[in-house]
Amino acid sequence: MAKPFVAVIMGSDSDLPTMQKTLEVLDKLGIPYEVKISSAHRTPDITHAYVKDADSRGCAVFISAAGLANHLSGTVAALTLKPVIGVPMDSGPLKGQDALLSTVQMPGGIPVACVAIGSNGAKNAGYLAAQILGLSDPDVIRRLADDRAQTAADIVAKDQAVGKRLEN
Protein backbone atom coordinates (compact mmCIF):
# COMPACT_ATOMS: atom_id res chain seq x y z
CA MET A 1 0.00 0.00 0.00
CA ALA A 2 1.24 3.48 -0.85
CA LYS A 3 2.43 5.75 1.94
CA PRO A 4 -0.25 8.30 2.92
CA PHE A 5 0.38 11.77 1.57
CA VAL A 6 -1.00 15.28 1.82
CA ALA A 7 -2.51 16.95 -1.23
CA VAL A 8 -1.98 20.72 -1.27
CA ILE A 9 -4.42 22.35 -3.69
CA MET A 10 -4.22 26.05 -4.54
CA GLY A 11 -6.72 28.04 -6.54
CA SER A 12 -3.96 30.02 -8.23
CA ASP A 13 -0.20 30.07 -8.55
CA SER A 14 -0.33 33.45 -6.77
CA ASP A 15 -1.09 31.44 -3.60
CA LEU A 16 2.26 29.63 -3.75
CA PRO A 17 4.40 32.21 -1.91
CA THR A 18 2.10 31.94 1.13
CA MET A 19 1.61 28.19 0.83
CA GLN A 20 5.37 27.71 0.72
CA LYS A 21 5.09 27.86 4.55
CA THR A 22 2.95 24.70 4.43
CA LEU A 23 5.44 22.93 2.21
CA GLU A 24 8.35 23.93 4.48
CA VAL A 25 6.60 22.37 7.49
CA LEU A 26 5.76 19.18 5.59
CA ASP A 27 9.36 18.94 4.33
CA LYS A 28 10.78 19.52 7.82
CA LEU A 29 8.56 16.78 9.25
CA GLY A 30 9.21 14.33 6.41
CA ILE A 31 5.58 14.26 5.28
CA PRO A 32 5.08 13.32 1.62
CA TYR A 33 2.94 15.72 -0.37
CA GLU A 34 1.99 16.83 -3.82
CA VAL A 35 0.90 20.23 -5.10
CA LYS A 36 -1.89 21.02 -7.54
CA ILE A 37 -3.16 24.31 -8.95
CA SER A 38 -6.86 24.00 -9.70
CA SER A 39 -9.80 26.34 -9.37
CA ALA A 40 -13.27 25.45 -8.13
CA HIS A 41 -14.65 28.07 -10.50
CA ARG A 42 -12.36 28.04 -13.54
CA THR A 43 -11.39 24.35 -13.72
CA PRO A 44 -14.10 22.45 -11.80
CA ASP A 45 -13.75 19.25 -13.83
CA ILE A 46 -9.99 19.15 -13.21
CA THR A 47 -10.53 19.82 -9.50
CA HIS A 48 -13.07 17.00 -9.28
CA ALA A 49 -10.86 14.55 -11.17
CA TYR A 50 -7.78 15.43 -9.10
CA VAL A 51 -9.51 15.01 -5.72
CA LYS A 52 -10.98 11.64 -6.74
CA ASP A 53 -7.62 10.49 -8.12
CA ALA A 54 -5.63 11.64 -5.06
CA ASP A 55 -8.21 9.99 -2.80
CA SER A 56 -7.80 6.68 -4.64
CA ARG A 57 -3.99 6.88 -4.45
CA GLY A 58 -3.84 7.24 -0.67
CA CYS A 59 -4.15 10.93 0.07
CA ALA A 60 -4.84 11.15 3.80
CA VAL A 61 -5.36 14.92 4.18
CA PHE A 62 -6.21 17.69 1.74
CA ILE A 63 -5.00 21.24 2.32
CA SER A 64 -6.84 23.77 0.19
CA ALA A 65 -5.94 27.43 -0.26
CA ALA A 66 -7.79 30.16 -2.08
CA GLY A 67 -8.62 33.81 -1.74
CA LEU A 68 -11.75 35.90 -2.20
CA ALA A 69 -14.67 33.45 -2.22
CA ASN A 70 -12.75 30.35 -1.16
CA HIS A 71 -15.11 27.78 -2.64
CA LEU A 72 -12.20 25.48 -3.36
CA SER A 73 -12.06 24.14 0.21
CA GLY A 74 -15.78 23.38 0.25
CA THR A 75 -15.61 21.77 -3.17
CA VAL A 76 -12.78 19.51 -2.05
CA ALA A 77 -14.66 18.63 1.14
CA ALA A 78 -17.75 17.73 -0.88
CA LEU A 79 -15.70 15.32 -3.01
CA THR A 80 -13.86 13.39 -0.26
CA LEU A 81 -14.41 11.88 3.15
CA LYS A 82 -10.81 12.68 4.12
CA PRO A 83 -10.01 15.69 6.33
CA VAL A 84 -9.83 19.02 4.51
CA ILE A 85 -7.91 21.97 5.95
CA GLY A 86 -8.81 25.32 4.44
CA VAL A 87 -6.30 28.16 4.29
CA PRO A 88 -7.89 31.54 3.54
CA MET A 89 -5.51 33.69 1.51
CA ASP A 90 -4.75 37.27 2.55
CA SER A 91 -5.86 38.85 -0.72
CA GLY A 92 -8.45 41.05 -2.33
CA PRO A 93 -10.12 44.18 -1.04
CA LEU A 94 -11.15 42.48 2.22
CA LYS A 95 -7.65 41.11 2.95
CA GLY A 96 -8.86 37.53 3.39
CA GLN A 97 -11.94 38.15 5.53
CA ASP A 98 -14.19 36.98 2.68
CA ALA A 99 -12.07 33.85 2.19
CA LEU A 100 -12.19 33.17 5.93
CA LEU A 101 -15.96 33.36 6.08
CA SER A 102 -16.46 31.23 2.98
CA THR A 103 -14.09 28.62 4.44
CA VAL A 104 -15.73 28.33 7.85
CA GLN A 105 -19.38 28.71 6.85
CA MET A 106 -19.92 25.19 5.53
CA PRO A 107 -23.19 23.28 5.58
CA GLY A 108 -23.58 20.57 8.21
CA GLY A 109 -21.99 17.29 7.19
CA ILE A 110 -19.34 18.84 4.92
CA PRO A 111 -16.68 20.03 7.38
CA VAL A 112 -13.62 22.08 6.52
CA ALA A 113 -11.09 22.70 9.28
CA CYS A 114 -10.00 26.31 8.94
CA VAL A 115 -6.71 27.86 10.01
CA ALA A 116 -5.76 31.54 10.20
CA ILE A 117 -5.62 33.86 7.21
CA GLY A 118 -2.29 34.00 5.38
CA SER A 119 1.16 32.68 6.19
CA ASN A 120 0.56 31.73 9.83
CA GLY A 121 -2.47 29.76 8.71
CA ALA A 122 -0.44 28.12 5.94
CA LYS A 123 2.21 27.08 8.46
CA ASN A 124 -0.41 25.74 10.88
CA ALA A 125 -2.10 23.80 8.06
CA GLY A 126 1.12 21.83 7.65
CA TYR A 127 1.29 21.14 11.37
CA LEU A 128 -2.38 20.16 11.56
CA ALA A 129 -1.98 17.77 8.63
CA ALA A 130 1.01 16.20 10.40
CA GLN A 131 -0.99 15.82 13.61
CA ILE A 132 -3.76 14.07 11.67
CA LEU A 133 -1.25 11.70 10.06
CA GLY A 134 0.33 11.19 13.47
CA LEU A 135 -2.87 9.58 14.74
CA SER A 136 -1.79 6.42 12.92
CA ASP A 137 1.97 6.97 12.65
CA PRO A 138 4.06 7.23 15.85
CA ASP A 139 7.10 8.36 13.84
CA VAL A 140 5.23 11.50 12.76
CA ILE A 141 4.30 12.20 16.39
CA ARG A 142 7.96 11.83 17.38
CA ARG A 143 9.04 14.28 14.69
CA LEU A 144 6.36 16.74 15.82
CA ALA A 145 7.57 16.41 19.42
CA ASP A 146 11.17 16.98 18.33
CA ASP A 147 10.12 20.05 16.35
CA ARG A 148 8.30 21.55 19.33
CA ALA A 149 11.26 20.84 21.60
CA GLN A 150 13.58 22.59 19.13
CA THR A 151 11.24 25.59 18.94
CA ALA A 152 11.25 25.83 22.74
CA ALA A 153 15.05 25.53 22.85
CA ASP A 154 15.35 28.31 20.25
CA ILE A 155 13.16 30.61 22.36
CA VAL A 156 15.20 29.90 25.50
CA ALA A 157 18.42 30.66 23.58
CA LYS A 158 16.96 33.95 22.29
CA ASP A 159 15.88 34.89 25.81
CA GLN A 160 19.37 34.25 27.13
CA ALA A 161 20.95 36.25 24.29
CA VAL A 162 18.68 39.24 24.97
CA GLY A 163 19.43 39.02 28.69
CA LYS A 164 23.18 39.06 28.03
CA ARG A 165 22.86 42.00 25.62
CA LEU A 166 20.92 44.04 28.16
CA GLU A 167 23.45 43.34 30.93
CA ASN A 168 26.19 45.14 28.98
Give me the domain span that covers residue 115.
5-136
**Residue 1: pLDDT over 70:** no
**Residue 69: pLDDT over 90:** no
Looking at residue 103, its pLDDT comes to 95
Quick check: is 144 in a domain? no
| CATH number of the domain bearing residue 115 | 3.40.50.1970
Quick check: is 106 in a domain? yes
Quick check: is 147 in a domain? no
> Secondary structure of 70-124 in the HEC alphabet?
CHHHHHHHHHCCCCEEEEECCCCCCCCHHHHHHHHCCCCCCCCEECCCCHHHHHH
Number of domains in the chain: 1
